[in-house]
Every structure is written in structure tokens, then in C-alpha cells.
Amino acid sequence: MRTAYTSDQIRTAERALMALLPDGTLMRRAATGLSVVCAGLLPGVYGSRVALLVGSGDNGGDALYAGALLARRGARVEAVLAGSRTHQAGLEALREAGGRTVEAPWPDVVRRADLVVDGLVGIGGAGELREPYRRLAVAASEASGLVVAVDVPSGVDASTGRVEGPAVRAQVTVTFGACKNGLLVDPGRSYCGRVELVDIGLGPYLPDPDVVSLTDEDVADLLPRPGAESDKYRRGVIGIIAGSERFTGAAVLSVGGAVRAGAGLVRFAGAKAAVGQVRAHWPEAITTVLDGPSVADVGRVQAWVIGPGLGTGEEARELVRAVLATDVPVLVDADGLTVLAGDRSMLRRSAPTVLTPHAGELSRLLDVPRDRIEAARIAHVRRAVTELGAIVLLKGSTTVVAQEDRPVRVNATGTSWLATGGTGDVLSGIGGTLLSAGLSGYDAASCAAHLHGLAARLASTGNSGGQGPIAAMDVARALPQVIQSL
Ligand SMILES: NC(=O)C1=CN([C@@H]2O[C@H](COP(=O)(O)OP(=O)(O)OC[C@H]3O[C@@H](n4cnc5c(N)ncnc54)[C@H](O)[C@@H]3O)[C@@H](O)[C@H]2O)[C@@H](O)CC1
Ligand SMILES: Nc1ncnc2c1ncn2[C@@H]1O[C@H](COP(=O)(O)OP(=O)(O)O)[C@@H](O)[C@H]1O
Ligand SMILES: [K+]
């Protein structure tokens, strides 16, 4: 499991460790690790041009010390001092090693560098970058040389991943002690490139993480697998209520996600047209044409999925109400969420409820503008959990899953080719299947996001190594191969 922390958590741990060590030890450890990564990225250190962007804090200090180490190995190191102050000991170390500082016109320095080291701000950064950092961040992002961010790309909020205004786009981010939330969560994540963690001995002083990201091994351990004694009922019966006379595809895709994720049995109920399509595509499913909002005729299930393509009229409302009135876990998606936004009282129940909104749907549920949710996913998914009393999976470029009193789980397996109609419907079927197999809502949602992302990647990659367009059904089709491989 990968773990990540807020800036405050990192600072507290650093203080505890620093109290036991001679002054400057941590910074030297950080700078040494940084210089090793930088040296590894250059075809040769000797003679290469390195530009250091140096802010006024310790982030600038790290860059200066690392620059000094590179200068000692023969690199031509030039430091742009951007802050009102500069880390003096770091600056002396650089000068002693033969590095130099440059005044305007610094754009040339950035332009001609083989490697740009972004030491403008780290975990001390707050809000939009001010000048001249802002211009330097833009110049670094446009540089032809490699860009390495020190601890966190300047302009990215380390605790939240929020990016206001320009920020440095790095090919590699060298982070110290522990990963910060903002390196795992978009939009920040997309500025980091590859993240390299340098151990500075912080481990024993770190608290429980704020954010985690599951690995393939974690998911493999959580996934239910049939044993010798399994039968279809014990493996898990999932009930899906989706689709309508008008929207039949969502039903087909949600059932597809469930069948291909390994449901013991899928019971599908919906409008006549949706049932017709589900039967045509998935003869494995047992179907019921719903005549009114009674779900009792559908048969016994261990978990429900409701919402994709359902519509938002009176009948849909009554169906959502009826399903939430049962005592089994329920996953609500798509139109089901829109219905809930109009009457949150339906969420008062004792069995687990998993909500799987995208930012637009969460915007309706929380009455918060969509762009604010996308800029601060962790904060909003947590708020949703508290306000709605459910487990919440927020979809999008980074999918995040939250439950009260647990770290937010961030999913990093997806691909932006997933941004296509119907892939969310497939996700609902996967999540429901895992719920019906007995996983907790938190585990079911996070494993579903993980498998969904891997399946999309597999479908998108094929044999070529590159990535290309996928259809939602391709994601469902790729699921068995993904589960085999875990
Ligand atoms: N504390 C420690 O023990 C260690 C810290 N390390 C480094 O120290 C960094 C934190 O250092 P600091 O606490 O000095 O903070 P930073 O160097 O991250 O930034 C603080 C400085 O940036 C300015 N600043 C903040 N937001 C700005 C904005 N939006 N635009 C322009 N200027 C802005 C502040 O006025 C302040 O001068 C870490 O990210 C890491 O790189 C490492 O050396 C490892 C050890
Ligand atoms: N830029 C992106 N990068 C990675 N995954 C994405 C991106 N945009 C959307 N997704 C994923 O694609 C799926 C889209 O689901 P959703 O918005 O519900 O679409 P639909 O309702 O058409 O099925 C979600 O799993 C979401 O996390
Ligand atoms: K930085």
C-alpha cells in the first residue's frame, strides 16, 4: 500500500526526527538523494548544464545543496535566486563547489539547461505562485531540458493536489521522507511525472496516513475467489436495477461489469426494453420486467446496484426508495444519485450504502460547484461521507474512495481513455459484485476502481504498448484477464 500525508503531518514528523539529529542532517540526506536522482537522469554529469530555481525556503536549500553535489562532479550549475532571501549555507556550499548564481536574463539559463531543478517552494507553498516564481514555473514547464521538482512541483498544493494558476510540470518529482497527498491526487498528480521517494528516516515518526493507494497485491488479497465448496449463491447474488425504455445501454453495461467481475449470479430488473437488451447480451442474467416499484419479485440478493440509465421520474424515485429500504448493501450510481439529491432522507439506513458520483453528480448532492469539487477532491469526498452518511467513490481523472475514519483511498490504475460514455455503468456492476461477495463497501468500492482502471488500461493498450480509444464494453471484457493476472 502506498501512503501519503498532508504537509502538517510531514512537518510534525520532521520536527520529531530533527530534534534527535545534528542541525542540517535531514536537508543533507534530502539533497544527497535528490542529486543521485538528477545524476541518474543525465547522460553524463560532467559538463552538463543544470539550472536551479531557488526559492526563499528550505526547498531552495535542498536545490542548492544538490546543485553543489552535481557541481563537484563537473556539472555547470547556475542558480536563479528567486526569493527575497536565500538559504545561506546552501548558497555557500554551491559557490564553494564552483556553482554560480545568475541575475536576469534568467530565461536563457532555463532555456539552455539540460536539467532544471525546481526548488521554488515545497510543503511551505500556499496559494497561487507569486512573481517571479510564477514566470519561472512557466519557463520551467516550457524548457526543453528535463525538469525535476524538489519535494513537490511548485504551484501544487502538497496537502490537497490543488493547483491555482501556473505550476511547474516536472518529468520527475523527488519527494522526501514520505509521499504527499498532492502527488497522488489530480490535478497535482498530473504535474509530478514519475515520483521518486528519498528515505530520510522519517518512517517511525509518521502518523496514520491521510491518503493511501492500493497496490495490485493489496487488491489481490482482498478479492474474493471461489473455493471448492463455492456455489453461485455463496459467491454472491447481485441485483441490478438499471436502464429504462429510453436508455437500455446502461443496463447492459452494468450487468456486463457484474458478470465479467465474477458475480455468482446476476438478477436484473428493469423496464421491458432494458430487459430485452440485457437478455440479448447476457444470457447469464436472470431478468424480471418491473411493473411498478416492487422489488420483492426480483428474488433474494446479497447486494443491490441501482441507478444507471434509470431516469429520474416518480417511478425511479420509488425504486430507489424501495431498494434503500432493504437491509442489504446498496450501490447507488448515476440517475439514482440525482434522485437522492432531491431526497437525502432515503440514505438513513443501517446496511452499507456506496455512492459512486462523478463531480457533477456530487455537485448536486452537496450543492457545491463542480469545479470546486474537482480542485479539491479529498476534501469534498470526505465532506460527502460525513454529510451523506455513506461510503463515497468520487469518479474522475483520479478516483477517490472515502469512508468515515479511514484514509482516503486514491486509485491510480486508470487511463484518460476511460473518459467515455458508459464506463461508469461498468464500474457500478463491478462494485456491486464485490459487495454481493461480502466485501465491505470501502473495500468493494476501492477494489472496483482498481480493477476498472486496470481493465481500461489493458483494453486500451492491446499488443502495441501504446494506448488508444476504448469502448465501455471493452472494459467489461478485459476484466477476467485482469483478475487472472492479479
Ligand atoms: N523540514 C525539514 O526537516 C526538511 C525540509 N525539507 C525541505 O523543506 C521544504 C519546506 O521548506 P520551508 O518550510 O522552508 O518551505 P518552502 O521552501 O516550501 O516554502 C516557503 C517559502 O516560500 C514562500 N512561498 C510560499 N508560498 C508561496 C507562493 N505561493 N508564491 C511565492 N512564494 C511562496 C514563503 O514565503 C516561504 O519563504 C520541503 O518541501 C523540503 O523540500 C527537506 O530538506 C527535508 C527536511
Ligand atoms: N480523465 C480521466 N482519467 C481517468 N479516468 C477517467 C477520466 N475521466 C473519467 N474517468 C473515469 O471514467 C469513468 C466515467 O464514468 P461516468 O462519468 O459515470 O460515465 P458514464 O456515466 O458515461 O458511465 C469513471 O470511472 C471515471 O473515473
Ligand atoms: K518544488
Is 396 a known ligand-binding residue?
Answer: yes
Instruction: Give the pLDDT confidence of 282-332 residue by residue, as tens digits.
Output: 999 999 999 877 888 899 999 999 999 999 999 999 999 999 999 999 999
Q: Are 468 and 484 in contact (CB under 8 A)?
A: no
Instruction: Report the interhelical angle of 314-324 vs 335-342 (nearest 10°).
Output: 90
Q: What's the rounded Cα separation, in Å, for the pair 191 and 169?
A: 5
For the chain, the farthest-separated pair of C-alpha atoms sits apart, in whole angstroms, at 83
Q: Are 414 and 399 in contact (CB under 8 A)?
A: yes
Distance from the CA of 444 to the center of ligand 1, in angstroms? Answer: 38
Strand pairing category for 179-180 and 2-5? parallel
Distance from the CA of 469 to the center of ligand 2, in angstroms? Answer: 13
**ipTM value > 0.90:** yes
Q: What are the distances in angstroms from CA 327 to CA 302, 320, 322, 440? A: 9, 13, 11, 14
Pocket residue to mutate for ligand 1, from 12, 29, 59, 195, most atoms within 8 A of Cβ: 59
Q: What's the rounded Cα separation, in Å, for the pair 374 and 359?
A: 6
Distance from the CA of 397 to the center of ligand 2, in angstroms? Answer: 7
Q: What's the rounded Cα separation, in Å, for the pair 224 and 437?
A: 7
Pocket residue to mutate for ligand 2, from 397, 413, 454, most atoms within 8 A of Cβ: 397
Residue ranges with CB less than 5 Å from ion ligand 3: 118, 149-150, 154
Instruction: Give the pLDDT confidence of 216-267 residue by residue, as tens digits.
Output: 999 999 999 988 888 888 889 999 999 999 999 999 999 999 999 999 999 9
- Is 241 in a helix, a strand, or coil? strand
Provide the Cα torsion 84, 181, 486, 465; round to 10°: -40
Selection from 113, 149, 144, 158 nearest residue 7 by Cα: 158
Q: Give the rounded distance of the alpha carbon of 233 from its chain centre.
A: 34
Selection from 10, 35, 2 nearest residue 122 by Cα: 10
Is 74 a known ligand-binding residue?
Answer: no
Is 227 a known ligand-binding residue?
Answer: no
Instruction: Give the pLDDT confidence of 118-145 residue by residue, as tens digits.
Output: 999 999 999 999 999 999 999 999 999 9
Burial of residue 85, with CB atoms counted within 10 A of its CB: 0-12 exposed, 13-18 middle, 19 or more buried:
exposed
Q: Specify which residues 46 forms β-bridges with.
A: none
Q: What's the rounded Cα separation, in Å, for the pair 72 and 94?
A: 9
* Residue 445 main-chain phi, psi, to 5 deg: -65, -45
**Residues flanking ligand 2, CB < 6 Å:** 334, 358, 395-397, 399, 414-416, 418-419, 421-425, 427, 452
pTM: 0.93
Instruction: Give the pLDDT confidence of 174-183 residue by residue, as tens digits.
Output: 999 999 999 9
Q: What's the rounded Cα separation, in Å, for the pair 109 and 113?
A: 6
Task: Map out the domains of the chain with their CATH numbers.
Answer: 2-210 (3.40.50.10260), 216-485 (3.40.1190.20)
